[in-house]
Amino acid sequence: MLFREAADGSWLAVSQPMHALVSGQMLRAWGAPGFALPAPFEDVATAAAHHDVGWMGWEAAPTLDPATGRPHVFRAVGARFHAPMWAEGVARATAGWGPWVGLLVSRHGSLIYSHYDDRHQDHPEDGPAARLYRESQAAVQAELMARIGATEAEVATASALVAVTDALSLAVCGGIATMGGVGRAPMPDGSLVPLALEEGDGVLAIAPWPFRVKEVRISWRGRRFGRGQVWMTETAMRASLAAAPVEEVTARLVPG
C-alpha torsion angle, residues 14, 171, 253, 224 (rounded to 10): 30
Got the DSSP string for 165-227? HHHHHHHHHH-HHHH----EEE-TTS-EEE-EEEE-SSEEEEES--BSSS-EEEEEEEEEE-T
C-alpha distance from residue 101 to each of 20, 92, 191, 216 (Å): 14, 10, 23, 24
Domain count, the chain: 1
More confident residue, 141 or 121: 141
What pLDDT, on a 0 to 100 scale, did the predictor assign at position 46? 99
CB neighbours of residue 138 within 10 Å = 12
What pLDDT, on a 0 to 100 scale, did the predictor assign at position 202? 83
Q: Is the pLDDT of residue 59 over 90?
A: yes
Flag the least confident range among 24-28, 49-53, 198-202: 198-202
68-125 pLDDT, tens per residue?
999 999 989 999 999 999 999 999 999 999 999 999 999 999 999 987 655 555 788 8
pTM beyond cutoff 0.85: yes
CB neighbours of residue 142 within 10 Å = 11
What pLDDT, on a 0 to 100 scale, did the predictor assign at position 199? 87
Within the chain, residue ranges assigned H as helices are: 16-28, 41-49, 56-60, 79-97, 99-114, 126-148, 152-174, 176-179, 234-243
Tell me whether residue 102 is exposed, middle or buried, using C-beta atoms within 10 angstroms of its C-beta: 0 to 12, 13 to 18, 19 or more: buried
197-234 pLDDT, tens per residue?
998 888 999 999 999 999 999 999 999 999 999 999 99
Q: What range defines the domain where residue 76 resides?
A: 2-255
φ, ψ at 64 (rounded to 5°): -85, 130
What pLDDT, on a 0 to 100 scale, did the predictor assign at position 182? 86
Distance CA 4, CA 11 (A): 6
What pLDDT, on a 0 to 100 scale, did the predictor assign at position 98? 99
Tell me whether residue 154 is exposed, middle or buried, using C-beta atoms within 10 angstroms of its C-beta: 0 to 12, 13 to 18, 19 or more: middle
Q: Is the pLDDT of residue 176 over 70?
A: no
- Give the pLDDT band (50/70/90) at residue 177: low
Contacts of 151 (CB under 8 A, 6+ apart): none
What pLDDT, on a 0 to 100 scale, did the predictor assign at position 169? 96
CB 98 within 8 A of CB 92: no
What pLDDT, on a 0 to 100 scale, did the predictor assign at position 175? 81
With pLDDT > 90 as the criterion, what percentage of the chain qualifies? Answer: 89
